[in-house]
A = this chain, B = another copy of it.
Amino acid sequence: MPPIVACAKTTPPRDRVRDVAAGLFADRGLDGFKMRDLAARLGVSVMTPYRYFENKEAILACVRAHGFACLADTLDGVAGEGALEQRVAALAAAYGAFALAEPARYGLMFGPAPAQSPGAVEVRRQEARVEAAFTVHAHGLSEAGLRCAEPATLGRLLWSTLHGVAVLHLGGQLPQVDLGGALRHAARALTIACAGVAA
């Protein structure tokens, strides 16, 4: 399994704990994750990670929040130009590339997590950024003169469809389909739906 996030030596210590922990979560799961194993991977004393995080639940929340923040940044970076079909296809391709680049992190982001952990508020904040990014794209599609649904609704539909394609692919439920092809098809269907959903 490739490392979840490459860590430069100049990475701030808290971020380094987060990134190394992400790999350990991916390998062992939430229950198999031990703070002493994390310290060993970091090459530090057992107590050092506690300088930065209250407990392992707080670390997982930080991993998830960072993942959603990166996803929001990715979506914000997709150009909102060109014809409708091109815009939706660009959004779909960027989403798929994000999921495929680090499937273990993607699984952690959407996987089970304690709702009340320290850091859960930040997770929600970053999740809302992703939703907002989709809404912005939906606004752009609406401004292109399409008979769109309300942008927030359409944004959620975009996210749901692309996420569904990605997780069925990553979960092995659609072994005969490549992700790129499935996303292109979804983008095409979404384009048509965007044009007519409020008709």
Contacts and interface: CB of A to CB of B under 8 A. Distances in A.
Given A157-B189, A164-B161, A192-B196, A110 B173 contact: yes
Interface of A: 28-32, 107, 110-112, 115, 124, 127, 130-131, 149, 153, 156-157, 159-165, 167-168, 171-175, 177, 182, 185-186, 188-190, 192-193, 195-197, 199
Given A160-B165, A164-B162, A173-B110, A190 B192 contact: no
A172 to B, nearest CB: 7
A131 B173 contact: yes
17 contacts: A28-B31, A29-B31, A29-B112, A115-B172, A130-B173, A131-B173, A156-B185, A157-B189, A159-B164, A159-B168, A160-B182, A160-B186, A161-B161, A163-B168, A164-B165, A167-B167, A190-B193
A168 B111 CA distance: 10
